[in-house]
Structure formats: structure tokens, C-alpha cells
Amino acid sequence: MKRLAIVLSGLLLAATAAHAQEVPTLPFKADIGNQASLQRGARDFMAYCSGCHSLKYLRYNRMGQDLGISDELLKKNLILGAAKVGDPIATAMPAQSVDWFGRVPPDLSLETKAKGADWVYSYLMSFYLDGTRPLGVNNPYLPGVSMPAVLGELQGWQEMEAPAKGEGGEAAPHFKLVQPGTLSPEEYRDFVGDLTNFMVYASEPTAFERLGLGWKVLAYLFLLLILTYLLKKEFWRDIH
Ligand code: HEC
């Protein structure tokens, strides 16, 4: 028993140590019930991200159904090139991209599941100017990042103030906006929030069905309860 306790506390310590090395993320709360936010996120993902990243587990028309976007609007505004409404969301990026960035932009279908929505939100908030990098920017959440700061025009350009390493472990990074973007800081926060919210939805489109199914199951059980009660009363009526 004692040995088990020692092993367990060892594991716990190791887990805390591993955790302490990560840069703390900004808090983000997804709300996939907010359809307007998901629609904005989808629009912005198509405009700013799908040039490089696919969402290969999500089909255009599935997204349209879930988000209340008609096939007409999908075709007109969101679908790239010659893709059909029933196709998975692909990227326009040709295969040579490996050479352009040193890394293939990964598929983002499961990104918020793999890294957490907080992490994705923080990453998109935290590109900063760094003259030592080939693209002129860096990111504390993915040091040496090879993705360009594609939202720089909107967010503006910022410098990192405090180094990511604090004295007592890691501290959350601080930024100073040195050149404002076309969006105010609040607008940019909302923009990234919608984008992250959409990616949370994209990582599990069936969540909508599950939510719907849950209520049906509860309603069914409730009905069953009433029927069972009535049946019980019926059975016992003659005996009492
Ligand atoms: C010009 C191409 C390009 C565009 C446009 C682009 N990205 Fe990226 N993205 C990349 C590359 C390349 C990487 C790999 C970075 C690395 O590992 O250093 C990446 C990495 C990422 C990652 C981290 C993946 C991981 O876990 O390692 C996320 C999240 C991400 N991109 C989100 C987005 C979002 C959201 C948009 C739209 C606002 C976007 N990207 C637009 C090229 C792009």
C-alpha cells in the first residue's frame, strides 16, 4: 500500500513537472450553441485559413446543415474552386508547400481536441515580431513557428514584453501593440474567439446530434416512468 502511494506521488510529481514546462494559455470558453459565432468562424476560416489548412473530416454540406447555411450560400461564398457541396473541406495549398514553410500545414480537423481550445485561441492571439526569424514573427506557443502571421493586418503587430520564462516557473507572455491593425483589440479577440469556436465545432460535428439525442432519450425515459407508474396503479387496484 505504501509502495503504491510512493509510485502514485512520483507519477503526480512527474505530471506536474511536465505541465509546468508549458506556457500558460489564455482562458477560452467554447460555445457551439452560438450559431452566429460559428457562421462567422466558418466564413473567416475559409477566407484566412483554408488556403493552407484542410478540415478533412468535415464536409461542406454537413457544415452547412449544422450551421444553417444553404447550399446556395455555400457555393457562392465558402466553397473553394471546383469542390462540390458533398466534398470534405480541402485546402488550396499545392504539395510544394513543404518547401515554402519547412513544414506542411497540418489538417486542423482535430486540432482543438489535440491541443485544447485554449491553446488554439492563445496561439492565434500571440504572433509577435521577431527579427531573428525568417518570417519576421514568432509565437511562444509554437517557438520557431513556420506559419506566417496571417492575421497580422487585422490584429496589428505586437512585441513580446516579458519573456515566456518567469522566475517561479513559466509566466504567461505579455505583448505590446506597436502598430495597430484594422481591428481594435476587442474586435480581434472576438474574431479569434469565433474562429476557435468554429474549430471546436469542426472537431466534433456530431456534438449537435448528441445534444439532440440526449433530450430525446430523457423525454423517452420520462414517458416510460409515467407509463410504468400508471401500470403499477392498474395492477394494484383490485388488491387494495
Ligand atoms: C500560408 C499558409 C498558412 C495559413 C494561411 C494559415 N496557416 Fe496555420 N500553419 C501553417 C504552417 C506551415 C503551420 C505549421 C507551423 C509549425 O509547425 O511551425 C501551421 C500551424 C498551425 C497551427 C498549429 C498546428 C500544430 O498543432 O502544430 C494552428 C492551430 C494553425 N496553423 C491555425 C491556423 C488558422 C486558424 C489559420 C487561419 C487564421 C491558419 N492557421 C492559416 C500555415 C498556414
- The number of domains in the chain is 2
What pLDDT is stored for residue 65 in this prediction? 93
Neighbours of 105 (CB within 10 A): 18
- Same domain flag for 222 and 200: no
What pLDDT is stored for residue 55 in this prediction? 95
- Same domain flag for 174 and 224: no
For a ligand 1 pocket test, name from 53, 133, 197 the mutation site with the most ligand atoms within 8 angstroms of its C-beta: 53
Q: Is residue 4 part of a domain?
A: no
What pLDDT is stored for residue 169 in this prediction? 52
- Same domain flag for 233 and 167: no
- Same domain flag for 149 and 227: no
d(CA 147, CA 168): 30
Nearest of 42, 91, 44 to residue 63 by alpha carbon: 42
d(CA 45, CA 40): 8
Q: Which residue has its alpha carbon closest to ligand 1 atom 29? A: 120
User: Which residue ranges have their beta carbon within 6 Å of ligand 1?
Assistant: 48-49, 51-53, 101, 103, 105-106, 108, 111, 115, 120, 123-124, 142, 145-148, 150-151, 195
Cβ contact 208:35 at 8 Å: no
Write out pLDDT tens, residues 158-200: 999 866 555 545 677 899 999 999 999 999 999 999 999 999 9
What pLDDT is stored for residue 119 in this prediction? 97
CA distances from 113 to 4, 118, 201, 206 (A): 32, 10, 10, 14
How much is the pTM?
0.82
What pLDDT is stored for residue 20 in this prediction? 47
Q: State the closest ligand 1 atom to the C-alpha of 100, by its place in the atom list counted from 1.
A: 12
CA distances from 62 to 44, 53, 102 (A): 18, 18, 33
- Same domain flag for 49 and 90: yes
Cβ contact 140:126 at 8 Å: yes
What pLDDT is stored for residue 197 in this prediction? 97
* 60-79: b (≥16 Cβ within 10 Å) or e: bbbbbebbebeeeebeeebb
State the residue range of the domain holding 227.
208-240
What pLDDT is stored for residue 4 in this prediction? 61
What pLDDT is stored for residue 208 in this prediction? 75
- 45 residue type, one letter: F
Return the CATH number at 26: 1.10.760.10
- Same domain flag for 200 and 230: no
d(CA 125, CA 121): 6
- Same domain flag for 57 and 142: yes
- Same domain flag for 76 and 148: yes
Low-confidence ranges of the chain (pLDDT < 50): 17-18, 20, 168
What pLDDT is stored for residue 210 in this prediction? 75
- Same domain flag for 111 and 212: no
Q: State the closest ligand 1 atom to the C-alpha of 124, by its place in the atom list counted from 1.
A: 35
